[in-house]
Structure 1
C-alpha cells in the first residue's frame, strides 16, 4: 500500500484507541447525564485535530493529489453533516420507544459508512501502488546465491560488536538517540528519556539490531496491565489481560535472543505503539483535569465551553509532533494521512461511542448545547473554506492557509467567550433562554 493508506489506517487508532476503546463508562447513570459534556469534547477534538494538523502541514508545505484530497474532505464533510443531524435532536427514550431502534439504525449507518471509507482507502491505495511499480521482467531468486542457510530460514546472525550491556546503554542514551540540535533541551530530557526507554520498546532501522531489546520488551509486557488499570477494566477482564501479557512476556524471554533480533519484529513495534498510546492518554487526561479545575475556578466558564476549547491538549500536541517528525523524514504522504486519519476516526466513531457507552437511557437525554452547535458551524466553515483555499492554490498547503486558520481559530475562541458573558447570542439556533422570577 501507499504511505498515505498505511498512515491513514494505523495512526488514527494508535492515537484514539486508548480513549475510544476504554472500558470505563463515559455516561454514568448514577452520577448524572454527562452526554452533552462528552459530545462537546468530541466536537472540540474534531476541530483541534483538523486545525492543528493542517497548520503543521502548511508550515512545511505539501502538495496533495486532487482525488485524494477531495475524497478525504468529502468523507469528513459527509460524516460531520450526518453527526450534526442525528445529535441535534434531544432524545427522551422510553423503555418501548421506537426512537431507540432509530438510534441503533443510525449507529449502524455510521459504522457501515466508516467501513466503506476504510475499504475505499485500501482498494485505491493498492491500485495506485500497483500502477507505480516499474514494469519489467521479474527475475526468480536463486537460493544458491544467498550467503547462508540462516537467511533462507529468516534467521539473523548475532551481533558481535556489542555486548548486552553495551546495547542497553545505547538504547537508553537519550543524548545520542534524540538527535536534536538544541543541546539544552537534550540535557533536560535525558532523565525522562532514560525512564521511558526502559518501558517502551522502539524499533528503528537506524539502531543496532533495529532497536531490538529483549529485556525492555519483556518488562513492557509485564507492566502493561498495571498501566491499563486506570482505564476502568473489570476484575475478570483485567486478570485475563494480566495472564495474557505475562504469558507473552515469558514466551518472549525464553524464545528470543538478546543479541539477535527476532523474525516478527513488527509485533514488538506494535507493542511499543500500544503502551505509548496508553501512557500518553493517561498523561494527557491528568493535564486536562488540571486545566479543567484551573479554568473553572479562575474564569467560571461553562463546562461545555471548557470541553470545546481546552480539552484534548495532549492528543493535539502529540499529533503536531508526529506530523513534524514525519515531515523531517520527508514522508509527505504519510503526514497528510495522519491528519486525515485522526479527523475521520474522530467523526465516525463519535456517535457510536455515545451509544455503546450508555449515554442513551429512558431517563437521560442527548442535548446539543448552544456552544457545541456553534462549534459545529465553525467546523463546517473551517473545512469548507480550507478545501476552497487548497483547491485554488493548486492543491498545495501554503503558509497563507496557516495564517488563515490561526486568525479563524482566534476569532472562534473570542466569539465563544463573548457568548459566555452574554455580550452576544450564539450563532446556533439552539440557545438558552433565561427566565426571571
Structure 2
C-alpha cells in the first residue's frame, strides 16, 4: 500500500499536470500529442536500461521477459478501455478503426515472428532474419508516427480561429525585461512565498481525502523540492527557478538504479549539470520563461523515472509474494501479475484527464501505451539480448494463450464499440470484466492441469512425447 500511495501521488500531482501542460502548448490535437508522448514517457526509463534484461547465461529469462510484455499489452488495453467505459466516451470512427487495425496488425506480426524457433549462432542466417524483422517493426512504426504528426498538426491548424495578433507593448515594462523575455516580472509574491506555494502539499492536494493528504504532506514537501510541476492552475504556471535547477542536478542520481555504465552516466551528469547552470543564468525567479513547456517536459521525465522505480519495487514484492504463497510458474507470474504499477498509473492518468474533460487525450493515452508496447516488444527483445544461443523459443504455452486472448479481446471490443455507435459504454466495461475473469480462471486451470492450454506448443510437447 505504501508503494501504491507514493505512485498515486507522483502520478496525479506531478506527472499529470506536466502532461496536461504539454498537451495545451502543443500545436497538435489532443489525441495526436498524447499518442506521441505518453508511450515513450512510460517505457523509456525501464526498457532503455543499460544492462541486458536477458542474460545469455540464463536462457529462462527470455521467455519470462516476453511473457511480461504480452501481459503488459493485455493489461494496458483492458484497464484503459474499462476506465474509458466507466465515464463514457465517443470516438471518431476513422480514428478508432485505424488504431484498432494497427494494433491487430502489429500483434499478428509479433505473434508470427516470436512463434518461430530460432537457433542463434555467430553469423547465422537466423540472426539476419531477426534484424530484418526488427527493422520492419521500427520502420513501420516510424511511418505511422510520422503520419499521426502530420495529420494531427494539420487538423489542429484548421481548427484555429483566425484572429489579429495583439501588438506587443513594452511601455510599462521594467528596463531590461525585453532581453529576458516577453513576460513581465510579477510583484505580488516574493521568492519565498512562491516556494511555499509550490511545496505546500496540503493546498496542492486539496482534492484528495483528508487522511491521505495528511499522511502524504511530508513526502510531498520533499518531492516537490526536486520535481517541477508546470500547470496553468498554479500561480506563475508553477514556475520555480531553483526547483528546476535542482531537478537537473538530481535527475542523473535518480537514473543510477537503471544500470548505466560509468561513461554514459558521466555524460548524462555533465549534460544535466550544464543545463542546470544554463537555466540558472538565463531565467528569472519572478518571471515566467517564454518556453515554459521545456520545463514541463523535464518534470514529466523525472516523474516518469521515479514512477518506474516504484513500479519495479511493486513487481519485486509481487514476485516474492506469489513465489512464496503459490507454486506458480515464473512465466505465469510475469504474464498475469507483473505491471501492476503501470496499470495503476494508466488508470490514474486517464481518470485525471477525464476530470479535466480532455476526452480525446484519454483515448490517446490508452492507444499510445498499447501500440508502443506492441511495436517495441520484438525490437526490445533483440536489443536487450533475449535472442541468444541458450534460448531458441521464447513463447511458452501460457504466453501463447495470452496472445490468443489479446486477439479475442481486441477484435470483439472493436465490434462492440462499432455496434454501439463508436461509444464506450458501461456494457463494454462488464464485457471486459467477464473476459478478464474467464482469462484468469483459464490460466489457473491450465496451471493445475485441469485442462490443456490453447497453445500449439502444448501440442508439440505431446507429439514429442509420443515419438519418444
45-54 vs 166-175, greater mean Cα deviation: 166-175
Aligned to 1:16: 43
C-alpha distance in 2, partners of 1:141/1:203? 25
- Mapping of 1:126-205 within 5 angstroms? 126-134=153-161, 139=164, 141-143=166-168, 148=173, 150=177, 154-180=181-207, 182-205=209-232
Post-superposition CA distance 1:170-211 (Å, at most 9, x none): 111112112315222222221222222112100001111110
C-alpha distance in 2, partners of 1:284/1:48? 14
The answer for unaligned runs of 5 or more in structure 1 is: none
The answer for unaligned runs of 5 or more in structure 2 is: 1-27
On the 8 A contact 1:33/1:359 being kept in 2, the answer is no
Residue 227 (structure 1) aligned to one of 254, 263, 274: 254
- Mapping of 1:33-432 within 5 angstroms? 33-134=60-161, 139=164, 141-143=166-168, 148=173, 150=177, 154-180=181-207, 182-431=209-458, 432=461
Q: Offset at 1:133?
A: 3.4
173-182 vs 391-400, greater mean Cα deviation: 173-182
C-alpha distance in 1, partners of 2:394/2:360? 38
296-305 vs 248-257, greater mean Cα deviation: 248-257
Q: Offset at 1:239?
A: 0.9
C-alpha distance in 1, partners of 2:220/2:419? 44
CA 1:140–1:278: 2 relative to 1, 3 Å: closer
Q: Offset at 1:366?
A: 3.2
CA 1:9–1:49: 2 relative to 1, 3 Å: same
Q: Offset at 1:124?
A: 2.1
On the 8 A contact 1:359/1:366 being kept in 2, the answer is no
On the 8 A contact 2:173/2:184 being kept in 1, the answer is no
Aligned to 2:57, the other structure's residue is in SS state: helix
Post-superposition CA distance 1:363-403 (Å, at most 9, x none): 43232100000000000000000000000000000011011
Post-superposition CA distance 1:241-275 (Å, at most 9, x none): 11111122222223322211222211111111111
Aligned to 1:27: 54
Q: Offset at 1:151?
A: 6.8
C-alpha distance in 2, partners of 1:152/1:75? 48
Q: Offset at 1:223?
A: 1.3
Aligned to 2:207, the other structure's residue is in SS state: coil
User: Number of residues paired by the alignment?
Assistant: 435
C-alpha distance in 2, partners of 1:180/1:323? 17
Q: Offset at 1:25?
A: 0.8
Output the TM-score relative to the length of structure 2: 0.89
On the 8 A contact 1:225/1:238 being kept in 2, the answer is yes
CA 1:151–1:328: 2 relative to 1, 3 Å: farther
Aligned to 2:11: none
- Give the RMSD, CA atoms, in angstroms: 2.0
Q: Offset at 1:38?
A: 0.4
Post-superposition CA distance 1:61-106 (Å, at most 9, x none): 0000000000000110000000000001121122232121111111
C-alpha distance in 1, partners of 2:224/2:433? 35
CA 1:146–1:308: 2 relative to 1, 3 Å: farther
C-alpha distance in 2, partners of 1:360/1:347? 17
Aligned to 2:363, the other structure's residue is in SS state: helix
